[in-house]
Structure 1
Amino acid sequence: MSIDVKNAIQNGKTSLGIELGSTRIKAVLIGEDHTTIATGSHDWENRYVDQIWTYSIEEIWKGIQDSYQKMAHDVKQQYGVTLQTVGAIGFSAMMHGYMAFDQQDQLLVPFRTWRNNITEQASKQLTELFNYPIPQRWSIAHLYQAILNGEEHVNDVAFLTTLAGYVHWKLTGEKVLGVGEASGIFPIDLSKKDFNQTMIAQFNEKVTAKQINWKLEDIVPSVLVAGESAGLLSAEGAKLLDVTGELQPGIPLCPPEGDAGTGMVATNSVAKRTGNVSAGTSAFAMVVLEKDLSRVYPEIDLVTTPTGNLVAMAHSNNCSSDLNSWVGLFEEFLGAMGVQTDTNRIFETLFKQALQGDPDGGGLLSYGYLSGEHMTHFEEGRPLFVRSSESNFNLANFMRVQLFTAFGAMKIGMDILTKEENVKLDELLGHGGIFKTEGVGQSILAAAMNAPVSIMKTASEGGAWGMALLGAYMINKKNDETLEDYLNERVFVDQEVKTIVPDPADVAGYEQFMERYKRGLAIERAAVENHQ
């Protein structure tokens, strides 16, 4: 046991990041050297209730409290001390979605997550109004769609926020968001690092005829940038976070961020010409732009880094969920055969098979659309595996195509950036569970993006670690030290990185697969329309 670590814990020389992802809530406590000293996690799943993908308030707090308790228990087990304070805390969560509260701070309708593709009308109208891409997932699209639908709760909205903003508010009393997370609510004025006031005025004018008794600027959170203080943990918040009552109030919190922003931080991808790909339940590629895009693309989101720089994001709703189901099927088969083996080994064995497949996946085709996919204009999804009589159907090609399709929808968006907008990428940093088997997901992604893909040793730490780094930056930065400089010079200076350069044969094979993928969307459409 390190005496230094024990002293850091006791003296609050630590930073805690908690991220609410789609399938897991994770708490990561880091020390003065930014390495992880304790973790805790809680698994959860969204539910489809009344045609809405949602999580209940009870599930949110149960998961946060459980992940915190497991992390605090890890501290006690490793270092023999009870966690009573930390230097800084930060919360992040899956971006976008809709959480609307009334004057009594009551949630007006169940939390509508990013996964819902139910705001197409609002998305199109607002994109046209602002001449700026407003994806269906964005909070403003959900709010405007509720207005268009004539939903009763609209006039009672007193506060609109995201999941990360909600948690932060309940723990501090502060209605704020980090600029990266805020950029998934409403467009940002990059010069002011705040919501675009011109567009807010346009929105207010647009809804005048609806006789709504609020103005948009009065119901959205305040916007902060990385490094700014976002309030202190209240006495009520401390009890809500730590049900044992050990954690003391008064701890500073940094601005709450989205999983896009924490992914950028965790992969040191906040500088221009850098990019990262986060691959889990959903997949998104983010590229920090040197200049504005030439026009509006519905497939490309424009968000910001936690410091307010413009980022192009190609986001797909579906990535690894169907792939995980197939691996589960193989695990079930092994169990039926009486073969006991570790789940991680099954993943590793199957993933490595993918590298033995034909460059194009042997003519096979798959869509892992558990939910709708906005990138290819599907409000609903149907997972499909398709082959012809001429396909080379074997295990290697089957697994290769499962990995191919995990990045398929995202690839459509990235092609717009690289082929139509000539966006230059020095490298992409990958993070997420799909990269856990060394060299496999990384090679497939390099082929898909036709760019070098690097994986850091810390890639598996994920967004909760990135959030903890934002907390550390807030309390440790020197004067005008930028986040980029802090990460480069204090966090990642000796980072171990493994880079894979794309193989031309793999790139050509992936392009062949994508032609098949695009042609086959008619099959997916038929499955959606004819299967109730």
Structure 2
Amino acid sequence: MYLGLDLGTSGIRALLMDEDQRLIGSASAATPVSRPHPGWSEQDPALWNEACSSAVASLRAQLPREFAAVRAIGLSGHMHGATLFDAADQPLRPSILWNDSRAAAEASELDQDPRFRALTGNIVFPGFTAPKLLWLAHHEPELFARTAKVLLPKDALRLWLTGSHISDMSDASGTSWLNPAKRDWEDSLLQATGLTREHMPDLVEGSAPGGELRAELLAEWGLKGPVLVAGGAGDNAASAIGMGIAREGEAFVSLGTSGVIFAANDAFRPRPESAVHAFCHALPGRWHQMGVILSATDALNWYARITGSSAADLSRALGPDLQAPGEVTFLPYLSGERTPHNDTQIRGAFSGLSHSADRAALTRAVMEGVAFALADSLLALQAAGASLSRLVAVGGGSNSGYWLKVIATTLGIPVDLPVGGDFGAAFGAARLAMLAASGADPDAVCTPPAIASSFTPDRALAPAFAEAHERYRRLYPALAG
């Protein structure tokens, strides 16, 4: 048996997978977010450990015999978080999360240093880890001086699980300190933020061993040791492993809180000026590119709350048949934007409202706006060398067939929906655990799921969507001010 642990922003998921890669069971526990000031987003690392214990206890209660057979554990987690530990491995403050925007000025400062883009292949985004450490050096210097280790969220959980300071290549790629081409830390970039290699965890590949479960947890969880903990992956790379997106040309579109187009690569292809993320994949000798928008289902959920409905009900009310865009345009920049704009200050907007704009018209506009933002990301990915012929859809928003039709028609690419099942980050983490324990061929393990249905571009409506997309794009400069 293999245990996949996915540390999400709002909760942790524990998934049990057998030797035949069948999902045996899963359990979850919540991890609340603290927002003490506007633009801040933090979590207490102790909550991650408590949530992990709770989820594991629930899974053990459901499946005691199966859980007792766990051989290895894989980890996935939300990226970019700055989690500081002192010399005694005690957290110094709450972790600063990926969606925290306080370090915008520090990110701009570091991005002006040409070494960062040249060596990491990426813009220094405000959500990345390095600018957060510079912010801490400026605003919390006493805590910064006491920092012995800087760990990403899933690796802070690993510290509790194993006592080891280890990270993997995919997660480390989002710090602005890793050179993805060399798959190693860059000393000059660490020094630019007042750190050294001693502050960093050791690096392993996602499919390699990354510690062993502590004796105390072996006893508490009723496991026979040793239980290996794999290197694991950042959440999007882990999701890709779960869906078998590991080879050149394979790609997925994720409709989660944020929106992602993820393309697997057999080479490192940076183009930082495009705001495309170019990172290591979770497997040796492989990389990936990502276009990231910050509000996908988050935008529809926001609108659902405003209307006193649910996202699912809003989608169902549209019916099965795709409609041409109307007069209303929605820009989904509720918390800024990454690809391709790299703009933390821009905010969302409705345009073209009139007396005829009813709830359905606004629902369609929100879905279309997210699709147009994804299309802008796709154009940036294509300019960065990605060649994509179709996409696999994942995330909560993929439950809406209407939305997938909008995305396929807007992007001009078929979108495939997998058969019912769990192919997300926790499943990918379990697959990495299997690879680390068995040494199996990654291509034999990381196979794609069967496809339940495919959504092809509606050629008759494609010109109307292209015209609406162009109208959408013209609105950005006015909002950017």
TM-score (norm 1): 0.80
Q: Which residue of 1 aligns with 2:147?
A: 157
Amino acid at match of 2:380: I
Matched, 1:499 2:476: no
1:341-380 Cα distance to aligned partner (Å, 9 max, x none)? xx7xx716624616546422x1212244443334444435
Q: Which residue of 1 aligns with 2:37?
A: 50
1:136-175 matches, cutoff 5 A: 136-149=126-139, 151-175=141-165
Q: Quick one: which of 263, 276, 286 aligns to 1:300? A: 276
Amino acid at match of 2:411: M
Matched, 1:182 2:166: no
Q: Which runs of 5+ in 1 are unaligned?
A: 1-13, 334-342, 527-532
Q: Which residue of 1 aligns with 2:389?
A: 426
Q: Is the 8 A contact 1:431 1:460 kept in 2?
A: no
Count of residues in correspondence between the two structures = 472
Q: Quick one: which of 33, 36, 39 aligns to 2:23? A: 36
Q: Quick one: which of 241, 245, 252 aligns to 1:276? A: 252
Q: Is the 8 A contact 1:30 1:37 kept in 2?
A: yes
Assess, with a 3 A threshold, how the Cα gap between structure 1 residues 421 and 179 changes in structure 2: closer, same or farther: closer
How far apart, CA to CA, are the structure 2 residues paired with 1:366 and 1:262? Answer: 31
1:123-159 Cα distance to aligned partner (Å, 9 max, x none)? 3343333333222222123223333557332222210
Name the SS of the counterpart of 1:105 in structure 2: coil
Amino acid at match of 1:359: A
Matched, 1:255 2:231: yes
Q: Which residue of 1 aligns with 2:209?
A: 229
Question: Which range is displaced more, 401-410 or 347-356?
Answer: 347-356
Measure how far apart 1:37 and its partner are.
Answer: 0.7
Q: Is the 8 A contact 2:72 2:229 kept in 1?
A: yes
How far apart, CA to CA, are the structure 1 residues paired with 2:34 and 2:334? Answer: 13
Q: Which runs of 5+ in 2 are unaligned?
A: none
Assess, with a 3 A threshold, how the Cα gap between structure 1 residues 15 and 498 changes in structure 2: closer, same or farther: same
Measure how far apart 1:29 and its partner are.
Answer: 0.5
Matched, 1:216 2:216: no
1:331-342 matches, cutoff 5 A: 332=308
Measure how far apart 1:523 and its partner are.
Answer: 6.8
Matched, 1:70 2:47: no
Matched, 1:129 2:129: no
1:310-357 Cα distance to aligned partner (Å, 9 max, x none)? 211111222212312433455x46xxxxxxxxx7xx716624616546
How far apart, CA to CA, are the structure 1 residues paired with 2:28 and 2:273? Answer: 37
Larger radius of gyration: 1
Measure how far apart 1:397 and its partner are.
Answer: 2.9
Name the SS of the counterpart of 1:91 in structure 2: strand
Question: Which range is displaced more, 320-329 or 27-36?
Answer: 320-329
Assess, with a 3 A threshold, how the Cα gap between structure 1 residues 520 and 28 changes in structure 2: closer, same or farther: same
Q: Is the 8 A contact 2:276 2:384 kept in 1?
A: no
Matched, 1:112 2:96: yes
Measure how far apart 1:49 and its partner are.
Answer: 1.3
Q: Is the 8 A contact 1:352 1:440 kept in 2?
A: no
Q: Is the 8 A contact 2:207 2:232 kept in 1?
A: no
Q: Which residue of 2 aligns with 1:484?
A: 443
Q: Quick one: which of 342, 345, 353 aligns to 1:388? A: 353
Measure how far apart 1:41 and its partner are.
Answer: 1.6
Name the SS of the counterpart of 2:406 in structure 1: helix
Q: Which residue of 2 aligns with 1:449?
A: 411
Assess, with a 3 A threshold, how the Cα gap between structure 1 residues 432 and 236 changes in structure 2: closer, same or farther: same
Assess, with a 3 A threshold, how the Cα gap between structure 1 residues 307 and 357 changes in structure 2: closer, same or farther: closer
Name the SS of the counterpart of 2:26 in structure 1: strand
How far apart, CA to CA, are the structure 2 residues paired with 1:46 and 1:449? Answer: 34
Q: Is the 8 A contact 1:18 1:464 kept in 2?
A: yes
How far apart, CA to CA, are the structure 1 residues paired with 2:353 and 2:189? Answer: 52
Name the SS of the counterpart of 2:130 in structure 1: helix
Measure how far apart 1:175 and its partner are.
Answer: 0.9
Name the SS of the counterpart of 1:266 in structure 2: helix
